[in-house]
Structure 1
């Protein structure tokens, strides 16, 4: 139990640290950040349940007002902006990524990359595009077009998540809780 809590807190902190990477603002008001890499790693390393809990802890800290999102944003106001769909989708994306990681028999790196693409990109985009459409007052097709600006960077993040997870599996196999 204590080990689980430590891992959950550590990965919530990892997502926060990835928010220190300077954001790039898009016209839609949703920034390009490194934090989605943290969401992917929560799933690939911690697994479905622990990964989602780490993200929920992070979001609770953001809601409490800590400036942990990229650009030093925090508080309840961020849940009323165009990025709300992505924020709501973070724990679901981590859960799906972890769930896929726990159930696939592919090699660790390939499994982590594929799970990150499906959960960390596909699932997250469903929520993010829906949130953008709702908050910006545009059609889902227009929001999807706006959301495609994130795709190249997110593919790079999915590849990185696969590489990091594979490296972790080689160095410390017992620390890869998604495969335990």
Structure 2
């Protein structure tokens, strides 16, 4: 074979090798791009969605527990030891609920959640004010007033508070689909 033919063969083989390498790089990019998007989504789920929803569920659970202790305190209002025990339990539940709300806020929720967060805080304050009146009535020995406040005042406030927490939780559930990592 002469040199010109061998050179053409070698150049053809180099061209084929370059084409195969370009094809491999293209296939690699096309194959890993969905994985990169999945990883970005998992980061959003792990750092934003999961902690936020966990904190909101913890807030709701602690407030439900506090309500159960509140009702038990009203029904055992004539037993000073039981009232003192429920005071401790209520204080612990309230502390954990406050921490859960702080944990939610630490996740830096998006700006569009701010009105819902403010609504939850406002309704929580109203419910805690009603709870303070119930607790005062129990400590004063006015069981009828405590019972009336627990049913007529605190119950509707708690229901409105839970409705606001559920609405905020539902907004948070939609966070991963609505806001990819690049948008944050």
Normalising by structure 2, report the TM-score. 0.30
Bigger relative contact order (CA 8 A; separation at least 6): 2
Larger of the two Rg values belongs to structure: 2
Higher fraction of helix? 2
Structure-1-length-normalised TM-score: 0.30
